């Protein structure tokens, strides 16, 4: 019999003696790693240190879990296909108040903390902002006291490792799990059967109710692996639960014994493929099917786990929305709407209307894009073959939705087509964005501008039908990782200047404002920035063999490579600047290093071409003896969280130059500004709110607004005329298209540049002159150090509102109906 739950004793205090911790490290090294300290290698010490840290977190973890059960608190379940968590040891130690103690303990053992910390695997469980946001949210939920589980996939390889071969992106498998993961716990008792394909059986129950039974043709098992997520000062430890796919039968012995040694592993290989790679290329039908399988796999496993836990504690489902909040991070888990309905109706025998009320009351949906093509949709034949019962449910939801639209809202045929869950403009496709919208009680955008645009663009007609459903929750970042840990020099300076209160209340950064014009504080702020730039310059030299001058302005654009993010605009400006410097070397040019990093989707041809162009331009510019002392271009391969932690503190200028109206929010813009970089950007995404926060005089804004972009697109603007009217732009484009930077293949960029002449959908040409003028404004500011550092300091001082703690508190009170438990 299971004993009644009781709260554990209070966890250990933050401060511990280094000698005690050192003994524990040796103990773990000896008895858990199996190594004598005399022969232990750095990776052995790392594992021992992680195990000591993990054991400290477990005390808080169990206490928080028991407390949630005892008090019957409502839980949040955050479903995301990505969790870009990065390295965990430094993060956990800092939040437990043990970072300095562990550093001192390892020093007693003649072990360098930074050396072993650098060996920790950087978990490749995400692609970019979406996954990093999910990681920040998990840490903030623990910090502010929201009981939460994160649910995702335990990818064997995750996103690819990017190598640059002759300037081209090459995708290699990421092997972060090669030596295991000391942070995770295998929860073999939390295993669920996940079905695909098969048939649906119908029957009547008692002559009144309809009952359906799905008989899948194929099944796999989802097995849970749990990682503790530690909040600030150990306030709470929540759980990140990742699913691994296993076959029901690992090997068909009859086939193996018959000599079919490869075929006997077919089921095992199919299951393994489910959780092997993040975002399998979906250009082929097989790739699309694998992607849909992944999304259903983790959504179904998560919902089965949620309902099992709820039923175990409460024994009924009528209170589900009162005790459970399921948040869908983008459309990847949107199939949850149909799956939750299936589980409630078919497994737990709840009638459709009641199940629908429970589903809508439980689910919230976060939208991350205004691009219609980025709102996932699946061919109906694929969806119906793979998930036949879910297709029936979606058709039933759609029928009720469309009847209500016609009868209650007098919508036109075009408006009804717009809200339908089935897109019939070409081949019939299931619209996952619409499914998530109608199946959620709250739909939020991730920046004020983005949320307003949702109402008039992709969800215009659904918003008319459900006018109270869309709300805004501007994204945020966790300052623990993106200031305290990645920039300890600046954190120390701020602490020495205004005291430590900002460590617990980040909005106290505003106490720095009076020091913005103080020459001595400016000098100290500049020294910290220089130290961070020195470290980055060393990394670039070691990895790339390129020497960059820390005295130069570090101009950094790091993010996923996409045409709307306009790395191409930045590169073209570099080419134009290169021409100007060559033409007038006698002028007093501001030394500048342009740094790019980011990955392109494997099948995104133009994005991969932009990476090649960046490397071609870098090769030419960096080898020119006249220019290279003034301008250098660097593309850093394999951008990840650990690299970002070096780039963000070292940046002088943050490039946030997406086409207005196309970036939902951005979080890189917040990280750079918090660390004292000035932003050059369009009025897009969260740039709008950053401008309001830091002051319009402390950010460099250029380019068309979202309204102007839309007007140009609708009115058929002539990009050729725009290009011909700008001599600098015209000459730069001719040089690129003509093969100046690609003598081995003069036509390599003809198509890429031709697109700017033909349609310029992303307004690269239209914004070029404004962008170059803004860059020269940056040069002017840089030439006045006192003014530059004043603006940089004010950026840091005024970014406290963009903490993910604030974002999570808003989610908790306004969407989830939870009062955060920690102030």
Tell me: pLDDT of 650 over 60: yes
Dist. CA 272–CA 280, nearest whole Å: 13
Supply the pLDDT for residue 9: 44
Supply the pLDDT for residue 408: 81
Find out whether 359 and 344 touch, Cβ atoms under 8 Å: yes
CA 513 vs CA 298, 494, 786, 791: distances in Å: 46, 11, 15, 10
Task: Work out the pLDDT band at 338, boundaries 50, 70, 90.
Answer: very high
Dist. CA 321–CA 685, nearest whole Å: 31
Dist. CA 610–CA 32, nearest whole Å: 48
Q: Can you name the residues that pair with 277 across neighbouring β-strands? A: 158
Dist. CA 602–CA 640, nearest whole Å: 17
3-state SS class at 431 = strand
Tell me: pLDDT of 8 over 50: no
Q: Using one digit for the tens of pLDDT, what is the confidence trace for 30-52?
A: 999 999 999 999 999 999 999 99
Q: Using one digit for the tens of pLDDT, what is the confidence trace for 339-376?
A: 999 999 999 999 999 999 999 999 999 999 988 877 89
Nearest to 335 by CA among 421, 211, 450: 421
Find out whether 803 and 476 touch, Cβ atoms under 8 Å: yes
Supply the pLDDT for residue 265: 66
Mean pLDDT, to the nearest integer, of 391-403? 97
Q: To the nearest whole number, what is the mean pLDDT of the chain? A: 94
Q: Using one digit for the tens of pLDDT, what is the confidence trace for 762-808?
A: 999 999 999 999 999 999 999 999 999 999 999 999 999 999 999 99
The residue ranges of DSSP E strands in 498-552, in sequence order, are none
- The set of catalytic residues is 368, 559-560, 565, 667, 671
Structure tokens at 133: 């946001």
Task: Work out the pLDDT band at 529, boundaries 50, 70, 90.
Answer: very high
Tell me: pLDDT of 2 over 70: no
Supply the pLDDT for residue 283: 81
Supply the pLDDT for residue 4: 41
Task: Work out the pLDDT band at 12, boundaries 50, 70, 90.
Answer: low
Dist. CA 683–CA 689, nearest whole Å: 9
Average the pLDDT over each of 158-162, 255-259, 562-566, 682-686 and give the range with the smallest value.
255-259
Q: Using one digit for the tens of pLDDT, what is the confidence trace for 614-649?
A: 999 999 999 999 998 999 999 999 999 999 999 999
Dist. CA 676–CA 515, nearest whole Å: 14
Supply the pLDDT for residue 264: 64
Mean pLDDT, to the nearest integer, of 436-464? 97
Tell me: pLDDT of 823 over 70: no
Nearest to 640 by CA among 132, 229, 206, 134: 132
Q: Which residues of 510-537 are buried (b: 16+ CB within 10 A; e: fewer)?
A: bebeebbebeebbebbbebbebbbeebb
Q: Using one digit for the tens of pLDDT, what is the confidence trace for 275-326?
A: 999 888 888 899 999 999 999 999 999 999 999 999 999 999 999 999 999 9
Structure tokens at 412: 């036109």
Supply the pLDDT for residue 11: 47
């Amino acid at each position: 019999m299971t004993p009644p739950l009781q709260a554990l004793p209070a966890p250990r205090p933050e401060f511990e003696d280094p000698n005690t911790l050192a003994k524990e490290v040796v103990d773990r090294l000896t008895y858990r790693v199996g190594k004598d300290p005399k022969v232990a290698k750095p990776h052995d010490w790392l594992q021992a240190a992680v195990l000591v840290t993990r054991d400290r977190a477990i005390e808080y973890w169990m206490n928080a879990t028991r407390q949630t059960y005892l008090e019957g608190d409502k839980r949040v379940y955050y479903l995301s296909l990505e969790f870009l968590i990065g390295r965990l040891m430094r993060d956990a130690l800092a939040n437990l108040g043990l970072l300095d103690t562990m550093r001192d303990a390892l020093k007693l053992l003649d072990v360098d903390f930074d050396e072993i910390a650098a060996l920790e695997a950087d978990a490749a469980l995400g692609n970019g902002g979406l996954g990093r946001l999910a990681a920040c949210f998990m840490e903030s939920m623990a910090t502010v006291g929201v009981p939460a589980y994160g649910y995702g996939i335990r990818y064997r390889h995750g996103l690819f490792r990017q190598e640059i071969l002759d300037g081209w992106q090459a995708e290699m498998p990421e092997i972060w799990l090669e030596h295991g993961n000391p942070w995770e716990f295998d929860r073999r008792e939390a295993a669920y059967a996940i079905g695909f394909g098969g048939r649906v059986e119908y029957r009547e129950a008692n002559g009144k109710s309809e009952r359906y039974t799905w008989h899948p043709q194929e099944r796999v098992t989802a097995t849970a692996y749990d990682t503790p997520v530690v909040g600030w000062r150990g306030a709470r430890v929540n759980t990140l639960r990742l699913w691994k796919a296993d076959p029901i039968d690992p090997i068909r012995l009859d086939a193996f014994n018959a000599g079919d040694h490869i075929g006997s592993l077919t089921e095992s290989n199919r299951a393994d493929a489910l959780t092997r790679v993040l975002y399998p290329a979906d250009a082929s039908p097989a790739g699309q099917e694998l992607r849909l399988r992944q999304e259903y796999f983790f959504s179904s496993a998560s919902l089965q786990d949620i309902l099992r836990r709820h039923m175990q504690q409460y024994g009924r489902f009528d209170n589900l929305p009162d005790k459970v909040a399921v948040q869908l991070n983008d459309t990847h888990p949107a199939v949850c709407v149909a799956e939750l309905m299936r589980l409630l109706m078919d497994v737990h025998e709840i009638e459709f209307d009641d199940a629908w009320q429970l589903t809508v009351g439980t689910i919230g949906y976060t939208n991350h894009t205004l691009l219609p093509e980025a709102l996932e949709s699946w061919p109906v034949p694929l969806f119906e073959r793979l998930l036949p019962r879910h297709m029936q449910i979606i058709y039933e939801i759609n029928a009720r939705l469309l009847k209500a639209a016609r009868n209650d809202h007098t919508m036109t045929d075009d408006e009804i087509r717009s809200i339908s869950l089935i897109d019939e403009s070409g081949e019939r496709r299931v619209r996952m964005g619409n499914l998530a919208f109608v199946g959620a009680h709250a739909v939020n955008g991730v920046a004020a501008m983005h949320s307003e645009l949702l109402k008039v663009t992709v969800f215009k007609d659904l918003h008319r039908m459900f006018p109270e459903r869309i709300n805004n929750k501007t994204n945020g970042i966790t300052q623990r990782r993106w200031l305290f840990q990645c920039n300890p020099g600046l954190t120390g300076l701020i602490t020495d200047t205004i005291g430590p209160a900002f460590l617990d209340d980040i909005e106290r950064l505003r106490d720095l404002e009076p020091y913005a014009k103080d020459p001595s504080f400016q000098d100290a702020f500049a020294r910290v920035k220089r130290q961070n730039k020195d470290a980055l310059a060393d990394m670039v030299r070691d990895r790339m063999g390129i020497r960059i001058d820390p005295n130069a302005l570090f101009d950094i654009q790091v993010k996923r490579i996409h045409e709307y993010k306009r790395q191409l605009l930045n590169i073209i400006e570099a080419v134009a600047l290169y021409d100007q410097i060559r033409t007038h070397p006698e002028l007093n040019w501001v030394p500048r290093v342009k740094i790019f990093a980011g990955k392109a989707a494997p099948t995104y041809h133009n994005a991969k071409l932009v990476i090649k162009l960046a490397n071609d331009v870098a090769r030419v510019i960096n080898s020119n003896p006249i220019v290279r002392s003034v301008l250098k271009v660097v593309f850093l391969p394999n951008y990840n969280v650990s690299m970002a932690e070096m780039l963000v503190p070292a940046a002088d200028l943050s490039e946030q130059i997406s086409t207005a109206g196309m970036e939902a929010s951005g979080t890189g813009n917040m990280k750079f500004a918090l660390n004292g970089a000035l932003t050059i950007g369009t009025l897009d995404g969260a740039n709008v709110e950053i401008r309001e926060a830091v002051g319009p005089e402390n950010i460099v804004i250029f380019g068309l607004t979202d309204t102007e972009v839309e007007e140009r697109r609708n009115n058929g603007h002539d990009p050729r005329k725009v290009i011909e009217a700008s001599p600098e732009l015209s000459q730069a484009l001719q040089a690129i298209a003509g093969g100046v930077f690609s003598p081995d293949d003069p036509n390599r960029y003809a198509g890429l540049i031709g697109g700017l002449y033909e349609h310029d959908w992303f307004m690269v040409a239209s914004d070029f002159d404004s962008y170059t003028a803004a860059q020269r404004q940056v040069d002017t500011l840089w030439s006045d150090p006192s003014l530059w550092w004043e603006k940089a300091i004010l950026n840091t001082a005024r970014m406290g509102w963009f903490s993910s703690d604030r974002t999570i508190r808003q989610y908790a009170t306004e969407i989830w109906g939870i009062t955060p438990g920690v102030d």
